[in-house]
Amino acid sequence: MTSSPANLYLDLLKKTLTFTLWPEPPAPAEDPGARLSFLERAALGHVSGALARAEIGLFSTRRPVEEDRREGKTWPACAHTMIGLRRLDNLQFCVETALLEGVQGDLIETGVWRGGACIFMKGVLAAHGAADRKVFVADSFRGLPEPDQKYPADRDSNFHTFPALAVPLEEVKENFRKYGLLDDNVVFLPGWFKDTLADPAINRLAVMRLDGDMYGSTLEALTALYPKLSPGGFCIIDDYALPGCRKAVDDFRARHAVTEEVRAIDWAGAFWRKAKT
Ligand SMILES: C[S@@+](CC[C@H](N)C(=O)[O-])C[C@H]1O[C@@H](n2cnc3c(N)ncnc32)[C@H](O)[C@@H]1O
């Protein structure tokens, strides 16, 4: 990485958004049980694949919280994103590649929590003078939905019971404001994905980042948005280590004959690039 002003800014932005410049309370402020529950879900065999199996060992050794925060393994008390530094690096790579190669379209995250990953996307655009592209910020702003019986893979999900995952719209807007990154090209889509993602304002996308944790939330986002992803655009899946999310991705890809290689980002995330032709 060069030490250009843009890179220095983006590096600082990542460290600030993840709160990794400072020590953080050892457990989330609002709901200590939430973090344990999330990790335990993974360790209890809900997570498939060799990568995830390796993580079970890591969880059980109770590594320092600082490292967990860098790797996006906690629901942090103070940070504005929970996705960790490597997934932010991946997001920077995807947005910068799209800009460099002229991949047409806007950016979206579905499932934003405190807004940190969207703030970072906006920061990357600002750093490269690409403020004409929109950043869509899609969330219920009241947490995850109750399982819908039409999605059996979500049957046992209890994500909707965690208040720590419900962040109000005003708080997310205020977070954008704090970084000086709130303008008319940040477009909020409040509501359930099944109702909001068909918005005709979403026309063409260069980067779509899905972070809705559940089968239904992932499938609904893929169904509504993937047809709008430009050739050469990036589809990022934050929760590929979670079995419900992974199944939604695998089902969608099989149904729509999507064959581009899925590449791992870290212990949780994965992404692929839509073919250019
Ligand atoms: C794990 S958090 C997202 C973390 C975030 N990307 C970050 O950078 O820290 C999941 C978010 O998805 C939202 N969500 C999940 N399913 C949803 C749905 N079907 N409709 C609307 N919002 C949903 C929740 O409200 C929550 O804010």
Residue 271 in contact with ligand 1 by CB distance below 6 A: no
Residue 144 in contact with ligand 1 by CB distance below 6 A: yes
Q: Is the pLDDT of residue 80 over 70?
A: yes
Contact 234, 207 (CB under 8 A): yes
Atom of ligand 1 nearest to the CA of 81: 9
* 186 phi and psi angles, rounded to 5 deg: -100, 115
Split at pLDDT 50, 70, 90, the class of 65 is confident
| Amino acid, res. 122 | K
Separation of CA 247 and ligand 1 centre (Å): 18
Mutation test residue for ligand 1: of 144, 160, 239, the one with most atoms within 8 Å of CB: 144
Separation of CA 58 and ligand 1 centre (Å): 25
Q: Cα(153)–Cα(125) distance, rounded to whole angstroms?
A: 36
Q: What is the Cα Rg of the chain in Å?
A: 17
| pLDDT for the residue 35 | 44
Name the pTM for this structure: 0.89
pLDDT tens figures, 167-176: 999 999 999 9
Atom of ligand 1 nearest to the CA of 239: 1
Tell me the sheet residues that pair with 161: none
Residue 116 in contact with ligand 1 by CB distance below 6 A: yes
Q: What is the mean pLDDT of the chain?
A: 88
| pLDDT for the residue 109 | 98
Separation of CA 132 and ligand 1 centre (Å): 25
Domains along the chain with CATH numbers: 5-70 (no CATH), 86-273 (3.40.50.150)
pLDDT: is 60 or 240 the higher one?
240
Contact 49, 227 (CB under 8 A): no
Angle in degrees, CA 147, 149, 152, rounded to 5: 85
pLDDT tens figures, 32-44: 444 444 444 443 3
Task: List C-alpha distances in Å: 151 to 88, 98, 215, 251.
Answer: 30, 33, 7, 12
Contact 236, 91 (CB under 8 A): yes
Which residue, judged by its Cα, is nearest atom 7 of ligand 1? Answer: 81
Q: Is the pLDDT of residue 193 over 70?
A: yes
Tell me the angle at which helices 84-100 and 116-127 cross, rounded to the nearest 10 degrees. 40
Q: Cα(269)–Cα(226) distance, rounded to whole angstroms?
A: 18
Q: Cα(70)–Cα(236) distance, rounded to whole angstroms?
A: 19
Residue 193 in contact with ligand 1 by CB distance below 6 A: yes
| pLDDT for the residue 62 | 45
pLDDT tens figures, 111-152: 999 999 999 999 999 999 998 999 999 999 999 999 999 999
pLDDT tens figures, 228-265: 999 999 999 999 999 999 999 999 999 999 999 999 99
Task: List C-alpha distances in Å: 17 to 37, 91, 135, 191, 226.
Answer: 24, 13, 17, 24, 27
| pLDDT for the residue 15 | 96
Residue 110 in contact with ligand 1 by CB distance below 6 A: no
Residue 145 in contact with ligand 1 by CB distance below 6 A: yes
Residue 147 DSSP label: P
Q: Which structure tokens are listed for 190? A: 């409040």
Q: Is the pLDDT of residue 30 over 90?
A: no
Q: Is the pLDDT of residue 59 over 80?
A: no
Which residue, judged by its Cα, is nearest atom 27 of ligand 1? Answer: 113
**Which residues, other chains included, contact 188 with Cβ-Cβ below 8 Å and sequence gap of 6+?**
137, 169, 172, 173
Q: What secondary structure does DSSP assign to 102-144, as a single string?
A: T--SEEEEE--TTSHHHHHHHHHHHHTT-TTS-EEEEE-SS-P
| pLDDT for the residue 41 | 42
Taking alpha carbons only, the member of 227, 226, 244, 248 closest to residue 235 is: 226
Q: Is the pLDDT of residue 2 over 90?
A: no
Q: Cα(57)–Cα(39) distance, rounded to whole angstroms?
A: 11
Arithmetic mean of pLDDT, 61-73: 71
Cite the DSSP H helix spans in the chain: 5-17, 32-41, 50-60, 65-70, 84-100, 116-127, 169-178, 193-196, 215-225, 243-255
| pLDDT for the residue 58 | 34
For 257-268, b where at least 16 C-beta lie within 10 A, e where not — what string?
Answer: ebeeebeebbbb
pLDDT: is 37 or 215 the higher one?
215
Separation of CA 210 and ligand 1 centre (Å): 9
Residue 213 in contact with ligand 1 by CB distance below 6 A: yes
